[in-house]
Chain A
Amino acid sequence: MPSHTKSTARLGDRVFSNLSKGSGIALLAIMAAIAVFLAIRAVVAIRANEGNFLTTFAWDANADPPYFGIAVLLFGTVVSSVIAMVLAVPVAVGIALFISHYAPRRLAAGIGYVVDLLAAVPSIIYGLWGALYLVPQLTGLYEWLDQFFGWTGVFAYDGTPARSLMTVGILLAIMILPIITSVTREVFLQTPKANQEAALALGATRWEVVRMTVLPFGRSGVISASMLGLGRALGETMAVATVLSPSFLINASLLESGGGTFAQNIASQFKEAGSMGRDALIASGLVLFLLTLLVNGAARLIIARRKEYSGANA
Chain B
Amino acid sequence: MKLRLGAVLVSGALVLLTACGTDDNSGLPGAVDFSVENLRCAPSGTLLASGSSAQANAMEVWVNTYQANCEDSQINYKATGSGAGVQEFLQGTTAFAGSDSQLTESEVEESRRVCRDGGRAVHLPMVAGPIAVAYQLPGVDDLVLDAETLARIFDSDIRRWNDPAIAELNPDARLPDIPITPFHRSDGSGTTDNFTSYLNASAPEAWPYEPDKSWRGRGGQSADGSSGLVGMVQQNPGAISYFELSYAHQNDLDTVRLDTGADEPVEATVENSSNAVAQADVTGEDGDLALELDYATRETGVYPIVLVTYEIVCDRGNNPATLDLVKAFLTYTAGEDGQRALGEIDYAPISDDIIQQVRQRIDAMD
Contacts and interface: CB of A to CB of B under 8 A. Distances in A.
Interface of A: 59-60, 62-64, 124, 127-128, 131-132, 135-136, 159-161, 163, 237-238, 241-242, 244-247, 257, 266-275, 277-278
Given A132-B17, A266-B3, A271 B81 contact: yes
Contacts of A275: 87
Q: Which of B4, B13, B83 has most A Cβ within 10 Å?
A: B83
Interface string B77-112: 000111110110000000000000000100100000
Contacts of A136: 235
B83 A242 contact: no
Interface of B: 3-4, 6-7, 9-10, 13-14, 17, 53, 80-84, 86-87, 104, 107, 179, 181, 186-190, 212-215, 221-224, 228, 231-232, 235-236
Interface centre among B6, B9, B212 (most CB of A within 10 A): B6
A111 to B, nearest CB: 30
Most buried by B among A64, A159, A246: A246
B12 to A, nearest CB: 10
Contacts of B53: 271
B110 to A, nearest CB: 9
Given A237-B3, A267-B7, A161 B224 contact: no
22 contacts: A60-B212, A62-B83, A63-B212, A124-B10, A127-B10, A128-B14, A132-B235, A160-B181, A237-B6, A238-B10, A245-B223, A247-B186, A247-B215, A269-B187, A270-B3, A270-B81, A270-B83, A271-B4, A272-B81, A272-B82, A272-B189, A272-B190
A244 B224 CA distance: 9
A242 B214 contact: no
Given A161-B235, A163-B221, A272-B189, A128 B84 contact: no
B173 to A, nearest CB: 23
Contact of A161 (B13, B84, B181, B228): B181
Given A62-B83, A161-B232, A246 B222 contact: yes
Contact of B188 (A124, A135, A244, A272): A272
Contacts of A131: 231
Nearest to A125: B13
Contacts of A247: 186, 215, 222
A268 B224 contact: yes
Contact of B224 (A59, A242, A277): A242
B148 to A, nearest CB: 23
B187 A128 contact: no
Contact of B187 (A237, A271, A278): A271
Nearest to A275: B87
B222 A271 contact: no
A267 B181 contact: no
Contacts of B86: 274
Nearest to A273: B83
B190 A128 contact: no
A107 B83 CA distance: 53
Given A159-B179, A161-B236, A271-B81, A132 B231 contact: yes
A245 B221 contact: yes
Nearest to B110: A275
Contacts of B189: 272
B3 A267 contact: yes
Given A237-B3, A270-B3, A62 B10 contact: no
A225 B59 CA distance: 48
Contacts of B232: 161
A59 B215 CA distance: 10
Contacts of A241: 7, 10, 186, 224
Nearest to A267: B3
Contacts of A267: 3, 6-7, 187, 224
A277 B80 CA distance: 15
Q: Which of A163, A257, A267 has the most CB of B within 10 A?
A: A267
B186 A268 contact: yes
A159 B181 CA distance: 10
A244 B187 CA distance: 12
B18 to A, nearest CB: 10
Contacts of A60: 212, 214
A62 B214 CA distance: 9
Contacts of B236: 161
B188 A62 contact: yes
Contacts of A268: 186-188, 224
A86 B313 CA distance: 53
A269 B188 contact: yes
Given A267-B3, A275-B87, 14 more contacts: A62-B214, A128-B10, A161-B235, A241-B10, A242-B228, A245-B186, A271-B7, A271-B53, A271-B187, A272-B82, A273-B83, A274-B83, A274-B107, A277-B83
The 8 closest A-B pairs by CB, nearest first: A271-B81, A272-B188, A272-B83, A245-B221, A268-B187, A238-B6, A246-B186, A273-B83
B214 A59 contact: yes
Contacts of A159: 179
Nearest to B228: A242
B230 to A, nearest CB: 12
B88 to A, nearest CB: 11
Most B C-beta atoms less than 10 A away, residue of A136, A160, A271: A271
Contacts of A246: 186, 222
Given A245-B186, A246-B186, A272-B82, A161 B221 contact: yes
Nearest to B223: A245
Nearest to A270: B3
Contacts of A271: 4, 7, 53, 80-84, 187-188
B231 A270 contact: no
Contacts of A128: 10, 13-14, 17
